[in-house]
Structure 1
């Protein structure tokens, strides 16, 4: 398991083992999950994966945790990509 990087106000990145054979890189961000923001954070996650020299195994998955009436700055969203070491 890898620790979170703390960028003080910027989105957080992590690479974690979530199962016996699954390893996922993810980025968490707040705000509305529009197509534009998903594209931006997916691209940022791909840069993180490249910098850590990981191989992509799956297309991105998206997680949205809040009901529609939650204010945008309280919303929590994630982009996840299954990865493996080189």
Structure 2
């Protein structure tokens, strides 16, 4: 499973768990307020609990950026008529 998918599903899971925990609390009757509270709490929890998955996702994205940049430079060189062969 890709790191981005794991991280996203982890964030959604934490939000769902916190939201379910706020449902029986009678202090706030509005469901949107409960959702906002759950969103804030889940964001803080995921910052600490999903650190490893977030770092894996960051590494994957950084590798993709480097690969894309290298491919872009190769394409520019090919379009400019430059080639990798040494000239004699």
What's the TM-score, normalizing by structure 1? 0.31
| Bigger Rg, structure 1 or 2 | 2
Larger fraction in helix: 2
If the length of structure 2 is used for normalisation, what is the TM-score? 0.31
| Higher RCO by CA contacts (8 Å cutoff, separation 6 or greater) | 2
